[in-house]
Structure formats: C-alpha cells, structure tokens
C-alpha cells in the first residue's frame, strides 16, 4: 500500500518512513502543508499519515481541503497536541484515527491496518480469497493452509488485488503501489511479478483485462 507521510520533524519523519517501509508500505514523505496538497492532487495514495503542526499550511486545513473535494482516503492524524478539543477538531475535520506523539511504530502500523479494514468494510484482519490468506500484519501468504514463499513486492501486488476484488487495476496503479518517488520503475516489473505470482498460486487466478490491467474476479471460477 502506498502511504503519504506529512511530517515536518526530520528525525521523526525519517523514522516513520523507515519503519513503514520495513512493514511493506511504499512511503512518500513531504514536510509542509502546501507540498501535501500538491501531492494529494497529483498522485494516488492508499493512506495518509498527517501531522497537524505543519509549516506553510496546517494539517487541519490540509484535511478539510481533502475532504471537501470528496477524497475518501483513510487519514491517521499525528500530533503532539493532547487537548481533547484538538482531537475532536481533527476527527470532525475527517480524520479516521488520531495518534499522540510520542508513539510506538508497531501501534502506528496496527492503526493503519485497522482504518484500512474499516474503510474496506472488513472486520477480519486477514484478507481471504479462494483458499488464499494474506496476513497484512505478518506480511505472509498461505494457500490452503500451506505457506507460500513470495517476495515483498509480489506481496504488495497481491494485497492490492485482494483489496480490489472484482475491479481491474492498471499497470500504472500497481506501479504506484510498488514504487515511491525516489525509486526507478522497471518497464516490465509488473508483468514479471504477475507471472511469478501465477506460477506460485495458479495460472488462472489473476486475470488480464485487455486494455485495462489485472484483477481477481469476484468469483474465483469466473471465466
């Protein structure tokens, strides 16, 4: 999943970015409210981690603008402001959750997984499809109860497909899930990863949609 991190503290931002990347997220990081607005207008993200005390434009303003234009991206607010009215203001502006600084990276990861589940309408912390179970917390995959060895990037792609069953994802959308701003995109990387996933999970599982991309059909037996 691709995360936009908006945090002006260099030390904290670096730690959060590294921690989320180790948990399998693709993380792009900006340090002020204006840069956040530009990124959210120009790119597609799955999650937003937003500090409130930002230079140039504060986090509440960024959040209100985001919701005013109809974006439903899950938002986790980070802040050192511990007054109840500050938490209420953030939640009323459209935040999905709130985490006070200082915080533990494991808790941050758990809260991001929780708001992702809520937005997807899921209660089960694991993704399940056609006998395949993906554990976002443990970053592991099983098929019919047997562990399947997959690379980190294969797991990211399959998680994106499992989160969008019945909806085709373009090659560009899958590339966005895999690569941040500072990473080069290999021209045939998605095709290679899809090919390897098919070899491991079944060649008919992931379908091509001509001119659009790839999908997991709502019915695994659908032709």
pLDDT in tens, 137-178: 898 999 999 999 999 999 999 999 999 999 999 998 898 888
- pTM, full prediction: 0.80
Name residues of the chain where pLDDT drops below 70.
182, 184-185, 220-223
CB atoms within 10 A of CB 195: 13
Which CATH number belongs to the domain containing residue 191 in this structure?
A: 1.10.10.10
- Predicted pLDDT at 177: 85
Residues 115 and 146 in one domain: no
Number of compact structural domains in the chain: 2
Residue that the structure tokens 């511990």 belong to: 82
Q: Tell whether 221 is covered by a domain.
A: no
- Among 95, 120, 145, which residue terminates a domain? 120
Backbone angles phi, psi at 103, to 5 degrees: -140, 165
**Whole-number pLDDT of residue 59:** 93
Domain end position, chosen among 81, 99, 120: 120
| Pair 85, 140 in one domain | no
Asked if residue 222 is part of any domain, the answer here is: no
200 Cβ contact list (under 8 Å, min separation 6): 148, 149, 150, 154
Residue 86 and residue 176: Cα distance in Å, rounded? 33
Determine the structural domain holding residue 29 and report its residue range. Answer: 2-120
Pair 128, 107: CB distance under 8 Å: no
User: Contact at 8 Å (CB) between 198 and 206?
Assistant: yes
Q: Which two tokens stand for residue 196?
A: 């390897």
Q: How high is the pLDDT of residue 196?
A: 96
| pLDDT score for 32 | 97
Residue-wise pLDDT tens digits, 66-78: 999 999 999 999 9
Q: Which of 120, 143, 168 is the last residue of a domain?
A: 120
**Does one domain contain both 207 and 154?**
yes
If asked whether residues 149 and 188 sit together in one domain, one would say yes
Residue 217 near residue 207, CB atoms below 8 Å? yes
Tell me the CATH number at 115. Answer: 3.40.50.2300
115 and 27 in a single domain? The answer is yes
Residues 148, 112 share a domain = no
């Amino acid at each position: 999943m691709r995360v936009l991190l908006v945090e002006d503290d260099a030390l904290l931002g670096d730690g959060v970015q590294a921690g989320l990347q180790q948990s399998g997220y693709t993380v792009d990081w900006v340090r002020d409210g204006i840069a956040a607005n530009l990124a959210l207008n120009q790119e597609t993200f799955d999650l937003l981690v937003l500090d409130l005390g930002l230079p140039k434009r504060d986090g509440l303003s960024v959040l209100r603008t985001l919701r005013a234009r109809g974006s439903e991206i899950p938002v986790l607010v980070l802040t050192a402001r511990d007054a109840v009215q500050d938490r209420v203001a953030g939640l009323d502006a459209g935040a999905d959750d709130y985490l006070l600084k200082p915080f533990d990276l494991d808790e941050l990861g758990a809260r991001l997984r929780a708001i992702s589940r809520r937005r997807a309408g899921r209660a089960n912390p694991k993704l399940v499809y056609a006998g395949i179970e993906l554990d976002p917390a443990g970053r592991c995959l099983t098929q019919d109860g047997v562990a399947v060895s997959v690379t980190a990037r294969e797991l990211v792609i399959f998680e994106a497909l499992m989160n969008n069953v019945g909806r085709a994802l373009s090659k560009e959308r899958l590339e966005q899930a895999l690569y941040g701003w500072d990473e080069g995109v290999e021209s045939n990387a998605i095709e290679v990863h899809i090919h390897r996933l098919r070899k491991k999970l079944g060649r008919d599982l992931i379908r091509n949609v001509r001119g659009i991309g790839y999908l997991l059909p709502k019915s695994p037996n659908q032709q």
